[in-house]
Amino acid sequence: MRQGSTQHEIFLNSLEHEGKKFIRLWYKPNPFISKRLKEAGWIKYSKTYKCFVMHNSPHSIEMTYTHFQGLAQVNTRYLYRPKRLKPNKLVPVLAGEQRGEPLEKMPDLPVVKLQPMLVGDDKTLISVTFRYSQQVYETLKCSNLATWQAEQKCFAIPEGGQHIQQLAEELDGKGWLWLSQQLVVRDVVLLRRLWEQTYLKSTGYITCPIDYLEKLYLLNYSMNTIRTYHSLLLRFLNSYSEKGMAAMNAFSEEDINQYHRQMVQAGSYSCSFVNQSINAVKFYYQRVLGRHEVQLRDVERPEKPDRLPTVLSKQEVKKILEATDNLKHRCMLQLLYAGGLRIGEVISLSLSDVQSDRNLLLIRGGKGKKDRTTVLSQRLLDNLRVYYKEYKPKTWLFEGQFGGQYTSDSLRNVFQACRKKAGVKTNATPHTLRHSFATHLLEQGTDLRYIQTLLGHRSSKTTEIYTHVTSYALDKIVSPLDNL
């Protein structure tokens, strides 16, 4: 009812049902309006929505205006109000100046793959292959470095970091270089170029200081850690590129803390990402610039949530292992589960690491550069003997189609293909087999200390997470709901 008026109102609201548009009528309870609504032939009472409804058309609205003239005013205020959709994600309300992503990506370019290739008896070249691109082909054809190999039907360059650097310069802006894992690069200048080749080098772009990468390399950090630290420091430096390197090198501890506080407040980054960024930036100021007073104590490190690992049942594991007829693929998947190996540890196994006389597998240079031994299943050993006779690997236990070490991406693809073929709906990865190995051992009654040794965990707290996902003894617990 409007202020200063005694006339009643009928509000028209939009209503969608099974893809069709209707109008829902709402009014304060009034017997005269209810009686008049029942007299209108184009208006019906809906038992579903428990209100009067009519078709959403100009003709129906016009008849409603006329029908209630003198009794009530028809109000269309809510009929034409636009929809206000809510986002599916939470929207953080942030304080202060917020910075967007500082690194822009270049438009996609053709990927040029570099892999070692034997030519003749003992000569090694680096093959250059790519999906056909006229620009890349013309560049290689006119190159002073790359030569066409008629027998192998591909371009090739001499081995050596300086030659890859020269090729990268020739293909700058025309293609991205991708190196196979058989090419172990120890030239940090080349690594920096490869890691930054996809970024847009706009005015003010700051590259990662080479002495930062050299320090990480000399301190024997793993290549994965070096690459992660490189990307995180690069992000930090380019967030303040307008200030210049001299000003950034003189940043106070509070300036650096403010950068990480904004990351935490944004809520768009994982706890691991923020913590790694703190470590990467701290390493730069302390170990490269020698500013040991920069401790970054005032920034609150986000606590990592305790998420339980995904574990497959024994039936699901069996289905996945039986989903392939390829003996090599089955042996690799069995190794992941039978010994609790990581994917990198499987492809890094050499022939001498299978110690069949002791029923042990020797894992060299696992995570954290630690060596360890794990159990060797008798069934797996029988399959490996058959596999060796059929495939005759030379150096690595598992080699690629054209020789060399098997790649981790290929093993991931094999696992996912087997999982889908087996009809396993669980969103699993090859690492899930390692989690399943530990959980199933625990359910069999194996002591947690032995499982810690087999997995290569430095702390028993890491292994204890499997006690939260095991079903051991849970089948003996009866829910109180079942006793009602």
Residues annotated as catalytic (active site), given as ranges: 342, 367, 431, 434, 457, 466
Cβ-in-10-Å burial (0-12, 13-18, 19+) of 360 comes to middle
Residues 235 and 64: beta-carbon distance below 8 Å: no
Q: Is 6 helix (H, G, I), strand (E, B) or coil?
A: coil
Please identify which residue in the block is written with the tokens 């996912």.
416
Please state whether 290 falls in left (phi above 0), alpha (psi between -120 and 50) or beta.
left
Please identify which residue in the block is written with the tokens 């401790």.
295
CA distance 229 to 191: 13
Please identify which residue in the block is written with the tokens 């690594």.
191
72 has which bridge partners?
8
Strands (DSSP E) contained in 369-463 are 372-375
Structure token pair of residue 111: 């990927």
Beta carbons within 8 Å of 187's beta carbon, 6+ residues apart: 161, 165
Distances (CA, A) of 64 to 37, 72, 276, 433, 455: 9, 10, 65, 67, 75
Backbone angles phi, psi at 69, to 5 degrees: -60, 130
Kind and range of the H or E run holding 127: strand 123-130
CA nearest to 146, candidates 131, 127, 162, 160: 127
Angle formed by the axes of helices 430-443 and 327-338, nearest 10°: 50
For the chain, first and last CA: distance in Å? Answer: 53
Q: Give the CA angle between residues 360, 364, 369 to the nearest 5°.
A: 135
Beta carbons within 8 Å of 478's beta carbon, 6+ residues apart: none
Cβ count near 418 (within 10 Å): 20
CA distance 196 to 77: 56
Beta carbons within 8 Å of 404's beta carbon, 6+ residues apart: 115, 116, 180, 182, 396
Q: Is 192 helix (H, G, I), strand (E, B) or coil?
A: helix
Please identify which residue in the block is written with the tokens 């407040």.
265
